């Protein structure tokens, strides 16, 4: 019947809500040589003060878990969590430190990649 609404399934729209783009971007972040401070949650026992200063911890493995559990509505909610990783880094680490510099390099890499992919 013409006009009948087709049931929407993921396979129909190859990038529903930009989730394929999220998977691509996260894979690139995880593989980046400067990702090492951000791959796993900061262990607050190994990093004095971290739990007090950083109210919303975030890291790439947690983002991976959320993506796997379908907890991101769209690319925007994914970008919020990625940016949280970099905001936490800038809050806790000196710009002129190993981790601080890695955070700045990862942030500019991410900004460049998602704007390229969204064009």
Ligand X SMILES: Cc1ncccc1N[C@@H](C)c1ccc2c(c1)OCCCO2
Q: Which residue in the set 77, 92, 105, 117 belongs to the binding site for ligand X (CB under 6 A)?
A: 92
Shortest distance (Å) from residue 61 CB to ligand X: 10
Q: How far apart are CA 2 and CA 6, in angstroms?
A: 10
- Chain-centroid distance of CA 44 in Å reads 21
**Residues 49-88 close enough to bind ligand X by CB under 6 A:** none
Pick the piece of the chain touching ligand X (CB under 6 A) from 7-15, 17-25, 60-68, 91-99: 91-99
Q: Which of 99, 104, 105, 117 binds ligand X (CB under 6 A)?
A: 99
Helix axes 75-92, 60-68, angle to 10 degrees: 160
Show the site string, 34-53: x = touches ligand X by CB under 6 A, - = not: ---xx-x-x---xx------
Tokens describing residue 14 = 């190859």
Q: Is the dihedral of CA 50, 84, 111, 62 positive or negative?
A: positive
Q: By rule CB under 6 A, what count of residues binds ligand X?
A: 10
Q: In whole angstroms, what is the distance from residue 106 CA to residue 33 CA?
A: 9
Q: Which residues bind ligand X (CB under 6 A)?
A: 37-38, 40, 42, 46-47, 89, 92-93, 99
């Amino acid at each position: 019947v013409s006009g009948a609404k087709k049931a929407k399934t993921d396979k129909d729209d190859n990038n529903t809500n930009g989730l394929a783009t999220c998977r691509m971007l996260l894979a690139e972040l995880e593989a980046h040589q400067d990702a090492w401070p951000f791959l796993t949650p900061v262990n607050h026992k190994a990093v004095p003060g971290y739990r007090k200063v950083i109210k919303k911890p975030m890291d790439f493995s947690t983002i991976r878990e959320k993506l796997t559990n379908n907890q991101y509505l769209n690319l925007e909610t994914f970008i919020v969590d990625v940016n949280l990783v970099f905001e936490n880094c800038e809050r806790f680490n000196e710009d002129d430190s190993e981790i601080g510099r890695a955070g700045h390099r990862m942030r500019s890499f991410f900004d460049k990649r998602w704007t390229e992919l969204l064009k």
